[in-house]
């Protein structure tokens, strides 16, 4: 490792560390003050509030990493330009690629860290933060358990209590088993078991069905079996097979909103299993497939922003490449980058673009320009 490489690497790492710390703390403070009223209103203990904010930090870190790399690249080269170090290095025979290679190595390392951080820690921390917010702050009971294989949901009602076991929950299907068009408020679940127990925890009813869906006003079960317990006059239990059956249940689709949110906070491999099962079940998984590609594409944000901004910073005249210029250009580039990103995701989820293209659109555009500049620097 050359002296030049170590010098640029340390300079960038120092600036990156400061920017990362400041932005993370800023996100934390903004989120804290945004939720301050709720924490005070519900008299949440300080330890619980602190633990909740700590669970929010992993998600903030994912947001902050690419922005930190974007700013640090501009500022590092800008400060070196103001001190005439870039001119001295070029005069000594160092190529532009040699100067920026430590920054690119840092960006590539951050891509790996970002992916595994988002996969291993963020989903768990997000779910724990959601649990604390609902049970400790909003004072609602924990009603759902979500795993990669299935969902369990408990009804909070009095008297009879319903337990739902859902093998697969579809959050964006357009048609069900009957081929019927579904609206945005409809909900479809597959491989469903509904257990109804009384106050003494005696089983009153069990329904096993291939599909359970909300048609806008009521729950409709398809291809299943209904078991009814003993009646009030000692009647024997009865079992009924059905193809289509409407069953009155107190729960509404909004009662499953918690499950929706927990499914949407899955990591890459959890979401991959979800997409594969959605395809086997015959659902349209375009939106989830776009999100799956996006989980990989988002981990490349630090490298893509570095590929684009670092060669650009090298092309700016030294006198203009100051701190203010770097910050302004970083903000402008970041705005355009996320604008293309949001547009590509929307078109990918809507089926107007292939899921891969929709998720990678901004990376492809900025990466291609950055790679072209980088090749020019090596020449």
pLDDT category of residue 106 using cuts at 50, 70 and 90:
very high
d(CA 26, CA 14): 19
d(CA 137, CA 143): 15
Interhelix angle 355-378/323-349, nearest 10 degrees: 150
d(CA 365, CA 247): 52
Joined tokens for residue 46: 């300080």
Joined tokens for residue 143: 């009603």
- DSSP states along 258-280: HHHHHHHT--HHHHHHHHHHHHH
Residue 148 DSSP class: S
pLDDT in tens, 220-261: 999 999 988 765 455 677 888 999 998 888 877 776 665 555
Q: Are strands 161-170 and 219-228 parallel, antiparallel or unpaired?
A: unpaired
- The single residue listed with the structure tokens 């209103």 is 41
Residue 179 DSSP class: -
pLDDT in tens, 340-379: 999 999 999 888 999 999 999 999 988 888 888 777 766 5
pLDDT at 26 over 90: yes
pLDDT at 175 over 50: no
Mean pLDDT over residues 103-111, rounded?
A: 92
User: pTM for the full model?
Assistant: 0.71
Q: Which of 157-166, 225-234, 333-342 is most confident?
A: 333-342
pLDDT category of residue 185 using cuts at 50, 70 and 90:
very low
Residue 306: per-residue pLDDT:
85
Residue 170: per-residue pLDDT:
67
Q: Considering the chain, what is the average pLDDT of its residues?
A: 80
Residue 208: per-residue pLDDT:
93
Interhelix angle 355-378/286-299, nearest 10 degrees: 20
Q: Are strands 203-214 and 188-197 parallel, antiparallel or unpaired?
A: antiparallel
Residue 311: per-residue pLDDT:
78
């Amino acid at each position: 490792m050359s002296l030049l490489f170590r010098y640029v690497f340390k300079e960038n790492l120092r600036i990156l560390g400061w920017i990362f710390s400041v932005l993370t703390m800023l996100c934390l403070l903004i989120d804290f003050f945004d939720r301050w009223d709720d924490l005070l209103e519900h008299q949440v203990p300080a330890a619980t509030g602190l633990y909740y904010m700590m669970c929010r930090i992993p998600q903030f870190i994912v947001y902050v990493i690419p922005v930190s790399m974007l700013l640090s690249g501009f500022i590092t080269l800008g400060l070196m330009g103001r001190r005439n170090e870039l001119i001295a290095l070029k005069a000594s025979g160092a190529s532009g690629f040699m100067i920026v290679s430590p920054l690119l190595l840092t960006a590539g390392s951050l891509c790996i860290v970002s992916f595994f951080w988002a996969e291993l820690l963020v989903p768990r921390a997000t779910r724990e933060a959601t649990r604390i917010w609902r049970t400790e702050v909003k004072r609602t009971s924990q009603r759902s358990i979500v795993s990669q294989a299935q969902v369990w949901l408990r009804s909070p009602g009095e008297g009879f209590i319903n337990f739902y076991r859902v093998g697969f929950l579809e959050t964006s299907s357009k048609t069900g088993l009957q081929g019927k068009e579904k609206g945005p408020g409809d909900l479809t679940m597959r491989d469903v078991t509904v257990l109804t127990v009384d106050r003494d925890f005696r089983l009153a009813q069990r329904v096993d069905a291939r599909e359970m869906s909300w048609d806008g006003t009521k729950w409709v079960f398809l291809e299943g079996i209904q078991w009814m317990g003993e009646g009030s006059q000692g009647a024997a239990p009865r079992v009924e097979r059905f193809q289509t059956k409407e069953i009155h249940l107190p729960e509404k689709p909004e009662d499953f909103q918690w499950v929706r949110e927990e499914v949407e906070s899955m990591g890459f491999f959890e979401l991959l299993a979800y997409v594969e099962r959605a395809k086997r079940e015959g659902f349209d998984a375009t939106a989830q497939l776009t999100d799956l590609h996006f989980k990989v594409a988002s981990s490349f944000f630090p490298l893509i922003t570095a590929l684009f901004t670092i060669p650009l910073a090298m092309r700016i005249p030294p006198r203009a490449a100051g701190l203010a210029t770097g910050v302004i250009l970083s903000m402008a580039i970041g705005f355009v980058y996320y604008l293309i990103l949001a547009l590509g995701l929307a078109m990918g989820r809507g089926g107007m673009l292939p899921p891969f293209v929709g998720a990678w659109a901004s990376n492809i555009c900025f990466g291609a320009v950055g790679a072209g500049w980088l090749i020019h620097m090596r020449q």
